[in-house]
Amino acid sequence: MSTQAVRKPQASTIPNDLEAFWMPFTANRAFKARPRMVSRAKDMHYYAPDGRAIIDGAAGLWCTNAGHSREPIVKAIQAQAAEMDFAPPFQYANPKSFELASRIAALAPGDLDHVFFCNSGSEAVDTAMKIALAYWNVSGQAQRARFIGRERGYHGVGFGGMSIGGLGNNRKAFGTMLAGVDHLPHTYNREHQAFSRGEPDWGEHLADNLEHLVALHGDNTIAAVFVEPMAGSTAVLPPPKGYLQRLRAICDRYKILLVFDEVITGFGRLGHAFAAERYGVIPDMITFAKGVTSGAVPMGGVLVRHDIHQAFMNGPEHAIEFFHGYTYSAHPLAVAAGLAALDLYRDEGLFERARTLEPLWYDACMSLKSLPHVLDIRCVGLTVGIDLSSKPGAVGMRGFEAMERGFHDEGLMLRAVGDSLAMSPPLIVSEAQIGEIFEKTARVIKAVA
């Protein structure tokens, strides 16, 4: 390490001293040269420190499904903080955590009736991986230790989630990952699927690649297959029609666990509590986070089928059945936020609202089809991915400039994924606001020559 003197960050109240915070998944130097700051949020909008409104086309980070700073959620958090700030989740519990688990299980399809709480999507995926390994162990099949992920999949930033994930930039700086992991091909083919509204017609057969991996590794070595029903972080790849059903059938044939990562798709983004319901497929586990509290307090979890849970319920009653958990599992503030968010989703019919808005959303998405630089548009539920052509010798620059122009020039928050744009607003978005989002997006795309 260089011995050259380095400036030591000092505690400061100066608001533009940005040096100390190493920002996640951010071009830090570019951000600090021209910050995109938000200091307040309400309903469909963020507000910059100067009071300028920024319409939220990305639900924060796919998470503020009920909108920002909703009063019932705020009041529930405040009341819980005053009543009890923390309860240990190991060997003790908060009664409300059982209520939240029951309500989430009631929303889930089939016999997914047990919930293991954690604090993020990354933790949820690593938890599901450990549940799968431990399940096969207690079932006398410890040789089932291999995982199958999918190219272009995102399953968080833990070493387990990175290993089964399929985004190159998230993996290449961190070594060889976990052993015993393989990947299905992604489901996108622009030639056959370009400008699809909803699930594309072409691609169901891609599920058959799991048969090849079974033949390669042996059916009795695979613990679980992890897929996102809709791959979101790679700029929205909807599943081809029949693909998830076919994947379920292959997993059943070889007794492989199927895990749906619904960290993005859970809690209404595709018009249902979980995408599993939209597609009529019951996985063996569902990971969730983000929308469970509408992003107000960090929380994640794993929904588990009844027979998987029961496999652990053996041995002496006083003995711990599963050696895993987190200090902040089922944190009281997160539980309070989760209960209030579920009330809002129910009372305002937000999942049903998303289904009702879907055709209008699709029309608005496809209104950008003829704009310069647009290569493809993919939309499903209240999500959209827009592929833009790359600038010569500057991959990712057009997407970055679109994000910057959206914020600074148009008062629009969107996500840039390389040269693709991804949007998915809070489920409270109005028809007029959908129009506003895409009018601003159109101006942004035209501007990034």
CA distance linking residue 53 with residue 43, whole number of Å: 11
- Does the residue 421 lie in any domain? yes
**Nearest Cα to 263, choosing from 400, 126, 360?**
126
Number of domains in the chain: 2
User: Counting Cβ atoms within 10 Å, is residue 6 exposed (0-12), middle (13-18) or buried (19+)?
Assistant: exposed
**Residues 305 and 376 occupy one common structural domain:** no
Could you tell me the CATH number of the domain that includes residue 46?
3.90.1150.10
**Residues 160 and 228 occupy one common structural domain:** yes
For residues 150-157, give the mean pLDDT: 98
**Residues 193 and 342 occupy one common structural domain:** yes
User: Which of 347, 362, 382 is at the close of a domain?
Assistant: 347
**Residues 333 and 403 occupy one common structural domain:** no
- In this structure, are residues 421 and 386 in contact, taking their beta carbons and an 8 Å threshold? yes
DSSP state of 197: B
CA distance linking residue 449 with residue 443, whole number of Å: 11
Q: Which residues pair with 40 in a beta bridge?
A: 47
Query: What 3-state DSSP class applies to 389?
Result: coil
pLDDT level of residue 17 (50, 70, 90 thresholds): confident
**Nearest Cα to 116, choosing from 303, 247, 298, 263?**
303
User: Which of 313, 347, 381 is at the close of a domain?
Assistant: 347
- Does the residue 8 lie in any domain? no
pLDDT reported for residue 1: 47
Kindly state the percentage of the chain with pLDDT values over 70.
96
pLDDT reported for residue 14: 47
Element (H, E) at 43: none
HSE (side-chain half, CA atoms, 13 Å) at 425: 28
Q: One-letter amino acid identity for 384?
A: V
| β-sheet with 40-42: strand ranges across | 40-42, 45-47, 53-56, 412-413
Helix, strand, coil % over all residues of the chain, rounded to 5:
40, 15, 45
**Residues 318 and 213 occupy one common structural domain:** yes
Q: Which residues pair with 287 in a beta bridge?
A: 261, 302
pLDDT, one tens digit per residue, over 221-263 is 999 999 999 999 999 999 999 999 999 999 999 999 999 999 9
- Domain residues for 33? 28-66+349-447
CA distance linking residue 117 with residue 111, whole number of Å: 18
Element (H, E) at 349: none
Q: What is the pTM of this model?
A: 0.95
**Residues 415 and 427 occupy one common structural domain:** yes
Mean pLDDT, the chain, whole residue set = 96
- Does the residue 191 lie in any domain? yes
Structure tokens at 111: 């016999």
**Residues 169 and 255 occupy one common structural domain:** yes
pLDDT, one tens digit per residue, over 18-71 is 999 999 999 999 999 999 999 999 999 999 999 999 999 999 999 999 999 999
**Residues 308 and 435 occupy one common structural domain:** no
Q: Taking 70 as the threshold, does the pLDDT of residue 98 lie above it?
A: yes
**Residues 33 and 84 occupy one common structural domain:** no
**Residues 113 and 238 occupy one common structural domain:** yes
| β-sheet with 257-261: strand ranges across | 112-118, 300-305, 285-288, 257-261, 222-227, 146-150, 181-184
Kindly state the percentage of the chain with pLDDT values over 90.
96
pLDDT level of residue 449 (50, 70, 90 thresholds): confident
pLDDT reported for residue 7: 57
User: Which of 319, 347, 375 is at the close of a domain?
Assistant: 347
